[in-house]
Structure 1
Amino acid sequence: MDDDRLWGFEQSLWTEGPDNYREKVDAEVVMVLPQPPFVHQGSQAIDAVASTPVWDSAELTEQTVSRPQEGLIVIGYHVKAHRGDETYEAYCTSTIRRIEHEVWRVVQHQQTPPLVTPAKI
């Protein structure tokens, strides 16, 4: 998967609905999310994410990509997502593996909100 497609794939997980999660997230996924119970696996993880409202937009910055082996991609980034007047920020990682030709699934995802809000100048 080239970088443009990779980042479009990841961004769609922020801005598209539950059917998209169920298509792109592996049944054995492990997720760490910033709300109890924090650590989620499999269908519990998919349900936790699918039950949250979809974001209107998501800006992915500070993007890093690692391809440690054929068919495995690890990414890290900062997200700033908006929905109406609500904003959410986090530092994230995702691991995506190829299932078959042109079919990819998220097998790991983690979100860490910033611990300190930057001072406004």
Structure 2
Amino acid sequence: MDDDRIWAFEESLWIGDADHYHELIDDACVMVLPAPPFVLTGAQAIDAVADTPRWQTVTFSDRQVMRPEEGLIVIAYRAHASRDGADAYDAFCTTTMRRLEHDVWRVVQHQQTVPIVVAGHAEQ
């Protein structure tokens, strides 16, 4: 998967509906999110997203792509997401994707760390 497709894939996870999310998250996925219950498996993450309003927009900065071996992609980035009626959301993230077959990829790991705010300044 080329870099443009990687970032389109990742964006679709932030703004796509629950059915789309379910399609792209592997049953063996593990996630760490900055809200209870903090550590989720694939099925738990899919269930949580089904009950969560989706982001309308997301932008990525500080983007990194690594391909440690054939069929495995690891990305890291800073996300800035927003939707009507909610505060903007900023987090540092990682996602690991594995290829199941030609052009079929699933997320097997995702993590979000919200920057610590001290006296109005984000620690970086």
Runs of 4 or more consecutive aligned structure 1 residues displaced over 3 Å after TM superposition: none
| RMSD of aligned alpha carbons | 1.2
Q: 3-state DSSP class of the match of 2:46?
A: helix
CA shift at 1:46, angstroms? 1.6
Q: Secondary structure at the match of 2:43?
A: helix
Corresponding residue for 1:38?
38
- Residue by residue over 1:51-88, the C-alpha shift from the partner in whole angstroms, topping out at 9 and shown as x without a partner, is 21111100011100110000000000000001014211
> Which residue of structure 1 aligns with residue 62 of structure 2?
62
Structure 2 residue runs without a partner (length 5+): none
**Percentage of matched positions with identical amino acids:** 58
- The answer for unaligned runs of 5 or more in structure 1 is none
| Aligned twin of 1:118 | 121
Q: TM-score, normalised by structure 2?
A: 0.91
1: distance between equivalents of 2:19 and 2:46?
10
Give the Cα–Cα distance (whole angstroms) in 2 for the partners of residues 90 and 50 of structure 1.
21
2:4 is matched with 4
Instruction: Give TM-score, length-normalised by structure 1.
Output: 0.93
Equivalent positions of 1:1-121 (< 5 A) are 1-86=1-86, 87-116=88-117, 117-118=120-121
